Structure formats: structure tokens, C-alpha cells
A and B are shown apart, each in its own frame.
Chain A
Amino acid sequence: MPTVTIDGCEVKVKRDATILDAARKAGIWIPTLCYHPAVPSEATCRLCMVELDRGEWKQLVTACNYPVRRDIVVYVSSERAKKARRGVMELLLARAPESQELKALAERMGVKGTPYPNVTDSQRNCILCGLCVQVCEQIIGKAAISFAGRGAERTVAAPFRQPSEDCIGCGACAAICPVGTIKVRLHKEQQEVEISPFKSRVKLLVCQECGTPIVSSEVSEQVLRKSQIDWQEFRELLRLCPKCRRSQTSARLRAASVYK
């Protein structure tokens, strides 16, 4: 097992673990945005840069996807590494000036604000990390959204910038978005869920007892397929919201006098 020396602290990790894994094991904090254990690291946000000691010279590398193959020496809190990460944070703040998540992280890093003009793009507040695109394609298997355009015009969008036909309204993109830009909006009157800002809308299943919206029927079908539970009783239970399901189950148990 190779040893990683982070700021003088030695930690052993498995071969091909990342510098980030080693730092987490050692309890050393490295700020991250585009890192998520559910999907492979693409190191798009550049926020986790650390200094790698190469003997003669030192190099900035992204901790989230740098594989440890031999004993290495890394500096997380060297001046150069800190300066690099702060510079990245300043650029990201200009891209996503309204993100509370980003502001909180900037504060933790000691970055007060950004000297750069705010980006006023069609997709403001997006840092283009690509987590939403990855999760939609690799985990959900739908690829309802993708990157569109290139250079300064690069955005995340559904095809033709129209509501996506492939979106099942699962909200995974919103859950994984590190800057809180993608949001799930419930439209109770229409019983629809909308994924903002992609404007994709999907019909929701409602609880047969109390009418509370639960999930979209596509999500329900997909979960059934993936979990491979397909008995009638289970399907019927799925027509209820969690609350009604609990109360019905407990009523049934009481009637069956299990707890008498």
C-alpha cells in the first residue's frame, strides 16, 4: 500500500485511491464541488487542486482524480495550492453569484468575493461541472440533458432547449447539483413536477387515499424494474403515499392481532 504524505501527515491508501481519498482518511479538508462518489470524477471544477512534490519541482494536480500509485508527498495548505484554489473560487463566484452553497464554501475557504465581472449568460449560476449530465446518463440511464454549444456559450440544456421528452422527473440532477441551481418544482394543481431550469414537466402519481403527490409514474416504473420486485401487493402499496401506507399497514397489523 502506497503512503501519501499530506502536509507532513502520513496516510496509507490502496493503490489507485485518489489524493482526495487519502486526505479524507487523514481528516484533512480539501474543498470540492464536482466530486461525487456516485459518478466518476471528471475534475471539471478544479477546486480541489493541491501541490504534488515531484522532487525537483512541484506540480498542481486535482486531488479528486489523481490516482496514488506509489509513495507521494502532497501539500494541501502550501501558499501556491491555496492561491490556486482561491483563484478558481473567485472565477466560480463570478459564474454563479447567486448560489448560497458556493458562497458558504467560499467563506470557508476565506474567499471574500470576486474581482471578476459576473457572468450574465443564459445559464447563469451554473459552474458547468457536468454532475447533472453524468447522473442523468450513467445512473438514471436517461440522458435527458447534455452539454450544448461550446466555449463561452457552453451550457447544460435539454435537446433544442425544449422540455425534454426523455426526462422522467426523478430530480437526480437537482439533488446532485453542487450549487443548487437545478430545482424541483411541484405544481400541485396540475399534479406535475417540473425540473427547473430545463422546463421539463412530468405527471405525478397521487396517493389514492389522500391525494398527496408522490413520484412520477416513470420513476415508479423505473424503480420497480431496477429493484425487480414485482408482486401485485407491492404495486398496490405503491399507490399510496408513505404516510397512508404506514397507517394502512399498522391498521392491518392491528386487525391481524399481531401485537395483542
Chain B
Amino acid sequence: MPEDSEIIEQIVDRYDGDDGMLIPMMQDLQAESGYLPADQLRCLGRHLRLPLSRLYAVATFYSSFRLAPKGAHEVTLCMGTVCYLKGSASISEAITREFQVEPGGTTRDRLFSFQAVNCMGACAVAPVMTVDGKYYNGVSPASALEILYGLTKEHVTADKEEQT
């Protein structure tokens, strides 16, 4: 992949090849493709003469790095104190059960990435879930699943439109 190595060369040059700037380089790399593909990490490691294990350690240490591609939609569920007391744990369980996705993961069909966060500052209308930045108030396991199934349809129709 010549394109890949070109991108990586650019990124490495941006920081004068200084391996102390590994984290900014990985951030730039993630900005290019939305995640850190294994091959690109391998290539970056070769350029910097760093072992792949070092890059993997950094990528898994910081939660802002992702090693798998993001889903088409971004779903966040608040697990803060108030939302938790209002039953967000059972919403999370329902999502995990229905879509086979753990918090922090992405569904197998890459429909959405599911993230549990600690507080979204909307405790008055707990429990809160956001989909692509849109807030949904007072959700229940049933209504949360309904919203997410709505996503499925949207996604499928969008795909069909693209094909035709």
C-alpha cells in the first residue's frame, strides 16, 4: 500500500521523526482513518524503529485511541449517578443483549459504536442517551431499543439509495 506509507511518512516528517512525539503522531494517524489500522501502526513502528508492542501499549492505554473502525452512528449512554439510579444499567444490558455490543465497542455490522459515559450534564431528564449528538430524554430499555432499531432502517435505506 504505497498510499498508506505516504501518509505515515508525512506524519513522521511533521514531527521530525522524533519518537517522543509518538502520541501526537498516532492522533494524526487516527484523524486520517477514524481509527488505527494494524497495518498502519506496523508501518509507523518501522518508520520510528519502535517495537510494535510499544505502539500497541500506547493505543490500548489511552481511551481516545481506537483499534477498530467506528460505527456509522455514535450512541452514548449516560451511566452517571442519577442516570444509573434511574435505570441506565438495564438500558445498557438491553443494548448489549439485543445488538451484541459491549460498552466501548462497535456492532458487528458497524451500524453504531456504543459508549457508556459518566455524566452528560442533563441529570434532570435522566436517563439520557444520545445518538449522533441528538439527546433522548427519559429513555427506558424499550424506547432505547426502538430508537436504535430506527437507526437500522435508516442505515439500510441510505445504503439502497446509494446503490440505485
Contacts between the two chains (Cβ within 8 Å), count: 39
Interchain CB contact under 8 A, B61 and A159: no
Output the least CB separation between B113 and chain A (Å): 18
Interchain CB contact under 8 A, A149 and B67: no
Interchain CB contact under 8 A, A149 and B61: yes
What does the 1/0 interface line of A137-164 toward B look like (CB < 8 Å)? Answer: 1000011111111100000011110001
A7 within 8 A of B: no
CA distance A148 to B51 in the complex (A): 14
Of the candidates A137, A147, A149, A157, the one whose C-beta lies within 8 Å of that of B51 is A137
CA distance A150 to B60 in the complex (A): 7
Interchain CB contact under 8 A, B61 and A158: no
Residue of A137, A145, A148, A157 with most partner-chain B CB within 10 A? A148
Interchain CB contact under 8 A, B56 and A143: no
Interchain CB contact under 8 A, A148 and B52: no
Residues of B within 8 A of A148 (CB): 56-57, 60-61
| Residue of chain B at shortest CB distance from A136 | B53
What does the 1/0 interface line of A148-187 toward B look like (CB < 8 Å)? Answer: 1110000001111000111000000000000000000000
CA distance A164 to B38 in the complex (A): 13
| Residue of chain A at shortest CB distance from B63 | A150
Residues of B within 8 A of A160 (CB): 38, 56, 67
CA distance A166 to B121 in the complex (A): 46
Output the least CB separation between B48 and chain A (Å): 13
Of the candidates A137, A147, A150, A166, the one whose C-beta lies within 8 Å of that of B52 is A166
What does the 1/0 interface line of B8-22 toward A look like (CB < 8 Å)? Answer: 000000000000000
B119 within 8 A of A: no
Give the bracket for the number of chain A residues in contact with chain B: 10 to 19
Output the least CB separation between B63 and chain A (Å): 8
| Residue of chain A at shortest CB distance from B59 | A148
Residues of A within 8 A of B52 (CB): 159, 165-166
CA distance A164 to B160 in the complex (A): 41
B7 within 8 A of A: no
Interchain CB contact under 8 A, B53 and A158: yes
What does the 1/0 interface line of B49-81 toward A look like (CB < 8 Å)? Answer: 001111111001100000100000000000000
Interchain CB contact under 8 A, B53 and A166: yes
Interchain CB contact under 8 A, B61 and A164: no
Of the candidates B38, B54, B55, B60, the one whose C-beta lies within 8 Å of that of A149 is B60
Output the least CB separation between B22 and chain A (Å): 13
Interchain CB contact under 8 A, A166 and B60: no
What does the 1/0 interface line of B106-126 toward A look like (CB < 8 Å)? Answer: 000000000000000000000
Residue of B41, B52, B57 with most partner-chain A CB within 10 A? B57
Residues of B within 8 A of A142 (CB): 51
* 29 pairs from A and B in contact (CB 8 Å cutoff): A137-B51, A142-B51, A143-B51, A143-B53, A143-B54, A144-B51, A144-B53, A145-B53, A146-B51, A146-B53, A146-B56, A146-B57, A147-B61, A148-B56, A148-B57, A148-B60, A149-B60, A150-B61, A157-B56, A158-B53, A159-B38, A159-B41, A159-B52, A159-B53, A160-B67, A164-B53, A166-B51, A166-B52, A166-B53
- Residues of A with Cβ closer than 8 Å to B? 137, 142-150, 157-160, 164-166
Given contacts A148-B57, A160-B56, 15 further A-B pairs with CB under 8 A are A137-B51, A143-B51, A144-B53, A146-B51, A146-B56, A146-B57, A147-B61, A148-B56, A148-B60, A149-B61, A157-B56, A159-B41, A160-B38, A160-B67, A166-B51
